[in-house]
Structure 1
Amino acid sequence: MPDSRRAVLDRVAAVVPAADALDRPVLVAVDGVDGAGKTTFADALGDALTDRGAAVLRASVDGFHRPAAQRYRRGRTSPEGFYRDSYDLDAFCAVLLDPLRAGHRGPRRVRTAVHDVRTDADPGLPWRAVPRTTVLVLDGIFLQRTELAERWDVTVWLEVPFEVTYARMAVRDGCPPDPDHPANARYRRGQALYLAEHDPVGRADVVVDNTDPTRPRVLRGA
C-alpha cells in the first residue's frame, strides 16, 4: 500500500469517534456513485480502524436489495426505479442500523444482509450479536438519502468522475465504458437524481478524491 494511501486512510480513521465516547456502536458510511471504489476503500478503512484498536463490522447496502420484481416495477430502464426501488431501506434500518444505534449497553443483534441479488432470495444469514464497542463500516450508493442521513456518525464521499467510474465498470461488469451510452442511462440518470436531491458531496463529513485509488486525496474534512 503506498504511503500516501495509508496516510489518507489514517486521516479518515482519525475522524471516526470511539464507540466509548458515544456509548454505542459507531456507524460510518462510505458513499459514492457506482464504480467509485467504495468497497475497496471501506475494506481498507476498516483495516485502518482495526489497527487503531476498533472492533470493525463490515457490511454493504448491496445486502439489502429488493427482489427483482420490486426493483423493476417501474420498468427495467427506469432511472427513477433504480434510485427509489433498488433497496429495502426499511429492512436495512430495522435489522442493521437501528439496533446498532439503540440506547442500551448490552450486545446488539443484527443481520448484515437480507437479500442476495444473484439468487434473488434471502441468503439466510443468522442474527449475530455485536458488542457496544463496534464500528460499522458500510459501503454503498445512495447512503445519504433523507431516510438514512441522520443515522450515520461519519459519512465519507468518494469523488470520482463518471468517465472514470464507467471505465472501471466496463472492466468489472462488462457495461459500455461511455457514461452517455443508452445502456447506462438507467444507472447514470438514477444517480443524477440522488446527486440533485441530496447533495451528498456537500453534506458528507469527509470528501476523498478517489480517481486514482492507489493515491487518494482528501478534499475536505480530515
Structure 2
Amino acid sequence: MADVVTSYVEGPVVVAIDGRTASGKTTFADELAHTLSATVTGVFRASLDDFKKPWRDRYLYDRASGEGYYRNAFDIERIRSDLVGGFRAGQTMLCSIDPITQIDHSAELIPMPDQAILVIDGVFALRPELRDLWDVGVWLDVDPQISELRATARDGEMLERYRLSEQLYLTEARPQQVADIIIDNDDISAPASSIWPHR
C-alpha cells in the first residue's frame, strides 16, 4: 500500500481506509501512515469519527437509529470543505469535534506541505457523497462473522445500531464495488494481498 501511495508524484495525496465495523480501519491506517513516514516528509492522519456533528444537536435529527446514524451523524460538508478541501489548499483541520470529549478543535488549522499525504480512516468513507475526495479508496474486507465477534467485544450495546447502519451502507453505497483496492483483513496480523477491482 505504501508503494501504491508513493507512486503519486505530484500534489497532495488523500487515502481513505473503509471497511466493516471492527475490520481494523484505524490500525491499518496508523500502520500505513507510519510506514509512509519513513520515506515521506509530511504524512498526516485523520479520522472521520472526528468529523461528526455535535452531540448536543442530536435532538435536531435522528441519530439513534441505524438509518439515522448513517444519514445524519457525520458532518459531510465539513469533511469536504475543511478536512480535504483545506488539505488540498495547504491548510487543514485534522479534527473538528472530539467524539469523546466533545471539545471543538475546528479553529486548529495545520499547514500542509505541497507533497503531503493524508491518511483517513472511517466507516462510510466510500459513500457517494465522499468518494470523489479520495485519490485512493481502500476497503478492508473481513468475514461478517469475524466483524461481529470483534465488534461485540468492543461496541457492546451500540452494536445493533452499527449493524443496521452498516447494512444500509453496504446495500446503498456498495463500497466493495467502488474501492480502488480491496484487502482481506480477516487476519489483522497478516493482511492478504490487495485486489484491484474493475471499475
Is the structural similarity TM-score above 0.5? yes
Between 132-141 and 67-76, report the one with greater CA deviation.
Answer: 67-76
Quick one: percent identity of the two aligned structures? 37
Aligned match for 2:46, one of 49, 55, 59: 59
Query: Is 2:173 the partner of 1:198?
Result: yes
Contact 1:71–1:85 (CA under 8 A) maintained in structure 2: no
Q: What runs of 5+ residues in structure 2 fail to find an aligned partner?
A: none
Contact 2:23–2:140 (CA under 8 A) maintained in structure 1: yes
Max Rg structure = 1
Name segments (4+ residues, structure 1) moved above 4 Å: 69-72
Query: Per-residue CA shift, 1:16-49, capped at 9, x if unaligned?
Result: 1455x33x21000011122111010001111221
Aligned match for 1:83, one of 37, 49, 70: 70
Counterpart Cα distance in 2 of 1:75 and 1:40: 26
Task: Kindly state the Cα deviation for residue 110 of structure 1 after the two structures are TM-superposed.
Answer: 0.8
The amino acid across from 1:199 in the alignment is R
Query: Is 2:5 the partner of 1:16?
Result: yes
Query: Is 2:22 the partner of 1:35?
Result: yes
Task: Kindly state the Cα deviation for residue 100 of structure 1 after the two structures are TM-superposed.
Answer: 2.4
Root-mean-square deviation (Å)? 2.1
Cα gap change, 1:34 to 1:95, in 2 (>3 Å): same
- The secondary structure found in structure 2 opposite 1:28 is strand
Query: Is 2:189 the partner of 1:189?
Result: no
**Structure 1 segment 1-222 matched on structure 2, within 5 A:** 12-18=1-7, 21-22=9-10, 24-71=11-58, 73-74=61-62, 76=64, 78-102=65-89, 108-123=90-105, 126-173=108-155, 175=156, 184-221=159-196
The amino acid across from 2:50 in the alignment is G
Query: Per-residue CA shift, 1:48-103, capped at 9, x if unaligned?
Result: 21223352101101110112254562262x1110101111011111111012234x
Residue correspondences, number: 196
Query: Per-residue CA shift, 1:144-168, capped at 9, x if unaligned?
Result: 1111111110011101123212322
Q: What runs of 5+ residues in structure 1 fail to find an aligned partner?
A: 1-11, 103-107, 177-182
Taking structure 2 as the reference length, the TM-score comes to: 0.89
Report the counterpart of residue 3 of structure 1 in structure 2. none
